[in-house]
Amino acid sequence: MRKMLTIISNILRGSASRNGAELVSEGARVVVSARTYADFTPQATFDIKKCDLHKLEEGPPLQAVLSREEGLQYYRTMQTMRRMELKADQLYKQKIIRGFCHLYDGQEACAVGIEAGINLSDHLITAYRAHGYTLTRGGTVREIMAELTGRRGGIAKGKGGSMHMYTKHFYGGNGIVGAQVPLGAGVALACKYLGKNELCVCLYGDGAANQGQIFETYNMASLWKLPCIFICENNKYGMGTSVERAAASTDYYKRGDFIPGLRVDGMDVLCVREATKLAAEHCRSGKGPILMELQTYRYHGHSMSDPGVSYRTRDEIQEVRSKSDPISMLKDRMLSNNMASVEELKEIDVEVRKEIEDAAQFATTDPEPPLDDLCNHIFYNDPPMEVRGTNPWTKLKSVS
C-alpha cells in the first residue's frame, strides 16, 4: 500500500505544475501525521490571479500559502456544498422541495473563501442564494435540507424555507433584492458601536448591484466609516439578464465610487480568501468600507424553474465546468503538489455523499411542523396572544 502510494505521489509530483504552482520544500519529506499514508506536503504556495484595483494602493499578495489541513477542509466544505445543492435539485424535481430554490453550485469558492478570510465572530448577510453561506456560517446539512423540505427539524422550523435561513451572526437569506445591503451596513454599525472589532460581510449579486438602496448604503457606510465588506457576487446573469444588458457599467468593483474596490477571481478559493483577508484588515483598521467583486458562475439557472439555457449557451456552461470549476481547481492543486492522495479525496467524497444522503433521508422523513406552531413567533418576549384564524370563530394561540 505504502509503496503504491509512493509511486503514485512520485508520478503526480513529476507532472507539470498547474497554474504555475511551486513546491516549497520545507521538510517536505517529513511525515506529518501518524497515518499510514505516504508523506504529504504539509503546505504549498500557489500563484493566484492579480486583482484589478480601484482606489487601492495595494492589492492582495500574488501568492497564497495553503496548508494540507486547510486544503482538505476547503475541499470537504465545497464538496459538501456542491452535493447538497445537487441533492436539493433532485428533491425539487421530485416535488419534495417546493416554491423558490436558488442553487449555488459553481460558486462554492466564494462562500468558502470568504469564510476563510474572516472569523465566525464576524457577521455576514446575503440574498436568496444562501444555502452555501448557511453552511459556512454554522448550519448543518440536515437542518438546511429539512428547512428546504419544510419540516420541523429545519433550521427555521420549516417556517422560512430556502430564502430565510439564519444562524448566529448570519442574518439570512433575504428575499427582497438589494434589501440586505442596508441591513448589512446596519450590522456593521452595531459592530462599530459595540466596539468588538467585528465586521460585517454584506453580499449581493450583479442584478442587485443596480439597486438604489445599495448606493444609499455606500454613502452612509463611507460617511460613517462602517466596518463593512460589500461583496458583489457577479455570476454574469441577473436571473435571465446578462450583465451587459443590465448595467451601464459592469465594473462592479468600481461602482462604490469613493469606496476602494477590487475585482477577484471568484472561482479560486485562495484568491477569494486572500482578497477577503485584505478587505477584513482594511475594515478592522478603521478605514471604513471596502468593495469586492467576485467573478463567479452558477451552473444552474436562476432558480429551479429556470433551465438556464434560454439566455446563455450550454457550451458556455460546459466550458466553465471544465476549465474553471472551483472544486476541480483545488483538487488538482492539492494532488499535483502531493498535499493529498486521490484515495483520500475519494474518501472525503464518500463521507460527504453519506452525509448528504443521511440529511436527505432526515429531510424527507421528518414530520412537518405541528399546526400549533402556525401562529407562534410573531413577537419576541411577549405574553401569549390570540390570533384570528381564517374565520371569526377560529381563535388561534400565539406564543413568543
Partner 1 sequence: MASLRCFLRSGKNAVSAGLRREFHRTPPAAVQVTVRDALNQAMDEELERDERVFLLGEEVAQYDGAYKISRGLWKKYGDKRIIDTPITEMGFAGIAVGAAMAGLRPICEFMTFNFSMQAIDQVINSAAKTYYMSAGLQPIPIVFRGPNGASAGVAAQHSQCFAAWYSHCPGLKVVSPWSAEDSKGLLKSAIRDDNPVVFLENELMYGVPFEMSEEAQSKDFIIPIGKAKLERQGNHVTLVSHSRMVSLCLDAAAVLAKEGIECEVINMRTIRPLDAEAIETSIMKTNHLITVEGGWPQFGVGAEILARIMEGPAFNYLDAPAVRVTGVDIPMPYAKILEDNSIPQIKDIIFSVKKTLNV
240 binds partner 1 (CB under 8 A): no
CB of 302: closest distance to partner 1 in angstroms?
20
Q: Which is nearer to partner 1, 83 or 123 (CB)?
A: 123
- Say how many residues touch partner 1, by CB under 8 A: 49
Q: Which is nearer to partner 1, 9 or 174 (CB)?
A: 174
CB of 117: closest distance to partner 1 in angstroms?
20
Alpha-carbon separation of residue 88 from 11, 77, 93, 100, 397 (angstroms) = 38, 16, 9, 11, 33
Task: Choose, by CB under 8 A, the member of 19, 73, 140, 213 that binds partner 1.
Answer: 213
CB of 152: closest distance to partner 1 in angstroms?
9
121 binds partner 1 (CB under 8 A): no
Alpha-carbon separation of residue 161 from 87, 274, 378 (angstroms) = 16, 33, 17
385 binds partner 1 (CB under 8 A): yes
108 vs 204: CA distance, rounded Å: 15
CB of 63: closest distance to partner 1 in angstroms?
35
Site string for partner 1, 174-193 (x = CB under 8 A): xxx--x-xxxxxxxxxxx-x
Can you read off the three cell numbers belonging to residue 267?
472561482
172 binds partner 1 (CB under 8 A): yes
Instruction: Answer whether 266's CB lies under 8 Å from 107's CB.
Output: yes
Which range of residues in 230-238, 239-247, 277-285, 372-380 is near partner 1 by CB under 8 A? Answer: 372-380
120 binds partner 1 (CB under 8 A): no
Task: Choose, by CB under 8 A, the member of 1, 11, 34, 194 that binds partner 1.
Answer: 194
CB of 355: closest distance to partner 1 in angstroms?
23
109 vs 272: CA distance, rounded Å: 7
Q: Which is nearer to partner 1, 186 or 238 (CB)?
A: 186
CB of 275: closest distance to partner 1 in angstroms?
23
157 binds partner 1 (CB under 8 A): yes
395 binds partner 1 (CB under 8 A): no
Which range of residues in 30-38, 162-170, 290-298, 345-353 is near partner 1 by CB under 8 A? Answer: 162-170
Task: Choose, by CB under 8 A, the member of 132, 158, 288, 289 that binds partner 1.
Answer: 158
Task: Choose, by CB under 8 A, the member of 7, 30, 62, 378 that binds partner 1.
Answer: 378
Binding residues among 63-92 for partner 1 as defined by CB under 8 A: none
CB of 198: closest distance to partner 1 in angstroms?
9
Q: How many residues in total does the chain contain?
A: 400
SS (H, E, C) the chain: CHHHHHHHHHHHHHCCCHHHCECCCCCCCCCCCCCCCCCCCCEEEEECCCCEEECCCCCCCCEEEEEHHHHHHHHHHHHHHHHHHHHHHHHHHCCCCCCCCCCCCCCHHHHHHHHHHCCCCCEEECCCCCHHHHHHCCCCHHHHHHHHCCCCCCCCCCCCCCCCCCECCECCCCCCCCCHHHHHHHHHHHHHHHCCCCCEEEEEECCHHHCHHHHHHHHHHHHCCCCEEEEEEECCEECCEEHHHHCCCCCHHHCCCCCCEEEEECCCHHHHHHHHHHHHHHHHCCCCCEEEEEECCCCCCCCCCCCCCCCCCHHHHHHHHHHHCHHHHHHHHHHHCCCCCHHHHHHHHHHHHHHHHHHHHHHHHCCCCCHHHCCCCCCCCCCCEEEECCCCCCEEEECC
Determine how β-strand 63-67 pairs with β-strand 290-295.
Answer: unpaired
CB of 212: closest distance to partner 1 in angstroms?
7
Task: Choose, by CB under 8 A, the member of 65, 223, 342, 350 that binds partner 1.
Answer: 223
Instruction: Please count the other Cβ atoms lying within 10 Å of the Cβ belonging to residue 289.
Output: 31
Task: Choose, by CB under 8 A, the member of 75, 171, 253, 299 that binds partner 1.
Answer: 171
Task: Choose, by CB under 8 A, the member of 44, 84, 156, 334 that binds partner 1.
Answer: 156
Task: Choose, by CB under 8 A, the member of 220, 239, 246, 348 that binds partner 1.
Answer: 220
392 binds partner 1 (CB under 8 A): yes
151 binds partner 1 (CB under 8 A): no
List contacts with partner 1 (CB under 8 A): 123, 125, 156-160, 164, 166-167, 171-172, 174-176, 179, 181-191, 193-194, 200, 212-213, 216-217, 219-220, 223-224, 376-382, 385, 387, 392, 400
